[in-house]
A and B are shown apart, each in its own frame.
Chain A
Amino acid sequence: MGKTVAEKIFDAHFVDNPYGDIHVIKLDSVFCHEITTPVAVNDLVNRGKDRVYDPAKIKAVIDHVTPAKDSKTALQGKIIRDWAKRNDIKDFFDIGRNGVCHAIFPEKGFVRPGYTIIMGDSHTCTHGAFGAFAAGVGTTDLEVGILKGVCAFHYPKTIKMEITGILPEGVSAKDVILSIIGQLGVNGATNKVIEFAGTVVEQMSMEARMTLCNMAIEAGGTCGICYPDMNTVDYLWPFISDEYESKEAAMTAFQEFCPDADAAYDDVITIDAGGLSPQVTYGYKPDTVKPVSEMDGTPVDQVYIGSCTNGRIEDLRVAAEVLKGEKISDSVRGIVSPATPAIFNMALEEGIIKIFMDAGFCVTNPTCGACLGMSNGVIAEGEVCASTTNRNFFGRMGKGGMVHLMSPATAAATAIAGYITNSKLYNA
């Protein structure tokens, strides 16, 4: 019997099978940010075990609240900063060089096909876009990962999601994943990996694949995985060109992390995305999804473009295409957070930042920002935000506030209109 991608990765990283289907696996990298890491650091210090399994394999960033907004967040920053220094963690990204973890770590070339990665952040599933097994974990798993370089999981079961057809103009990876979550439900993939395959995924850029995999967790999935291909190799080439003779050689090596033809799946679901329209959430769970046309006219108070889901350069380009020469509605506050300094720089050079500012958007530094209502962009009780982020839980962006999840194109159009509406990029 053949193997799925996750099975291949697990078998290549096997450490122990202590009970039943529990596999302890070796970690290629442990990613850390300033919200979930400090408690692990303090506990390691208290245990007299203030060390890391391999400083080169630990990557850390301050991204959730940056610049620090108060004494408490300043202390969180200080704890991770001092810890990185003490433990000789070279890949630590502090203010001025920091960005949203799931955007900056791939951008730095830290994710490779076949890797195992954990982070104290549920959207770690994003990195599966590169053909890696990457899973969000809690602080205790993170602590053991930092100390021992291992983590325990149930041996993975996989749903294969075959997305066929060609996406219509103005319909993006965000619309695809919202539609999938709407079908699977918020626990439709719990304890399972989702392999995303099919013509739509094959044609997607790495940025789009990251958007797709980012929200696997919203269906309960442990990780979303795309198969490595030439897009993956092209993206990684600046980081791997000294490891392989040619891109073809790299591709041959990465083939190892594509599934076997006779792999056994828990479920195989085929979706024809050829007729998909832009999607939006209407409730307080990410699986409450409708076509934008059915929500047209719903007023919003704020529009937020950014986050680990949709704060990458392609997202900003699409939004700018909609916003170019337009002004956002007087009734709307527009906020955009380019996800990393490199993305911010590209957006500057391409004139995208100017388009946002001319339209009336506030441009913030790279940060998780408004997404989880921890730092900037918090909405008031009863207010509504149209957002390119990943969660619409009640109060997520501020106590008593509501969030509608959507694509960057829809968010930009919504900012101009002042109410939820389809972008001009979508003609149907």
Chain B
Amino acid sequence: MKNFNGQVLFLDRADINTDEIIPARYLTEITKEALKPYLLEDLKFDGFDPEKDISGKSIIITRSNFGCGSSREHAPWALEVNGINLVIAESYARIFRQNMFNCGMMAVELPAEDIDRLFAEFSDKSTNIETDLKNNLFIIKADGKETEISFTISGFDRALVEAGGWVDYADKNY
């Protein structure tokens, strides 16, 4: 199973699309590793600089409809090769969300109130999250304080995470 713990990158914008996560000009690459330098290269908004802000981060917290647009699995791959296996958002585009779990990664939905609270309380701090998959809990640590937020994950999504992805799961079952 992949690692779902670490430092948080807050992306305070809705509808971040897959062209912003990994621009089409890099889809000529045929290895996941080659995508590493280009993650979020075209994402432009105040308070985000891909060159400074991505390094050392393992988790993204963002708003609604993350990963809309193209079906490119290069988006999850670009996250994965940068050590980011977990995205927490209010909602996702269908294909991106499925691609994450198909790769054994996690795209977890939290209610808008929880996302608002995470942004309000933590987005200006160095924040670390530990994922307790057994108890469906995110343990959020910043400034020496600790908060817990519970999440839900469907049986199928959990099975994909535990199997390491859909190819392994499907190969065993179908």
Binding site for B on A (CB under 8 A): 15-16, 18-20, 22, 24, 35-36, 38-39, 42-43, 47, 49, 64-65, 70, 72-73, 75-76, 79, 120-122, 124, 136-141, 143-144, 147-148, 150, 152, 186-187, 190-191, 220, 222, 285, 372-374, 391, 393-396, 399
Bound-state CA distance A22–B170 (Å) is: 13
Tell me which of A36, A42, A79 has the highest count of chain B C-beta atoms within 10 A of its own C-beta.
A36
Closest CB in chain A relative to B71 CB, distance in Å: 4
Evaluate contact between A393 and B94: CB separation under 8 angstroms: no
Tell me which of B17, B31, B44, B154 has the highest count of chain A C-beta atoms within 10 A of its own C-beta.
B17
Closest CB in chain A relative to B112 CB, distance in Å: 13
Taking CB atoms and an 8 Å cut-off, the chain B residues in 68-88 that contact chain A are 68-73, 76
Evaluate contact between B65 and A140: CB separation under 8 angstroms: no
Q: Give the nearest-CB partner of B158 in chain A.
A: A19
B7: Cβ under 8 A from any A Cβ: no
How many residues from B make CB contacts under 8 Å with A? 45
Which of B65, B73, B102, B170 interacts with A186 by CB under 8 Å? B65
Residues A65 and B102 in contact in the complex (CB < 8 Å), given A36-B73, A187-B64:
no
Q: Give the nearest-CB partner of A395 in chain B.
A: B42
Closest CB in chain A relative to B82 CB, distance in Å: 17
* Neighbouring B residues of A190 by C-beta, 8 Å: 65, 91-94
Bound-state CA distance A124–B130 (Å) is: 38
Q: Give the nearest-CB partner of B159 in chain A.
A: A19
B135: Cβ under 8 A from any A Cβ: no
B29: Cβ under 8 A from any A Cβ: yes
Residues A140 and B156 in contact in the complex (CB < 8 Å), given A35-B27, A220-B68:
no
* Neighbouring A residues of B17 by C-beta, 8 Å: 285, 393
Q: List 12 A-B contacts (CB under 8 A).
A: A15-B174, A19-B155, A20-B156, A64-B27, A72-B28, A73-B28, A136-B71, A147-B167, A148-B174, A187-B64, A373-B24, A394-B20
* Neighbouring A residues of B103 by C-beta, 8 Å: 140
Evaluate contact between B30 and A72: CB separation under 8 angstroms: yes
* Neighbouring B residues of A396 by C-beta, 8 Å: 19, 24
Taking CB atoms and an 8 Å cut-off, the chain B residues in 31-85 that contact chain A are 31-32, 42, 44, 64-65, 68-73, 76
Bound-state CA distance A200–B4 (Å) is: 49
Q: Give the nearest-CB partner of A143 in chain B.
A: B167
Which of A19, A76, A124 interacts with B30 by CB under 8 Å? A76
- Give 5 A-B pairs besides A285-B17, A399-B42 with Cβ atoms closer than 8 angstroms: A16-B173, A72-B29, A144-B166, A147-B167, A393-B20
Residues A391 and B65 in contact in the complex (CB < 8 Å), given A18-B159, A24-B174:
no
Evaluate contact between A220 and B94: CB separation under 8 angstroms: yes
Residues A70 and B165 in contact in the complex (CB < 8 Å), given A19-B154, A122-B71, A187-B15:
no
Closest CB in chain A relative to B155 CB, distance in Å: 4
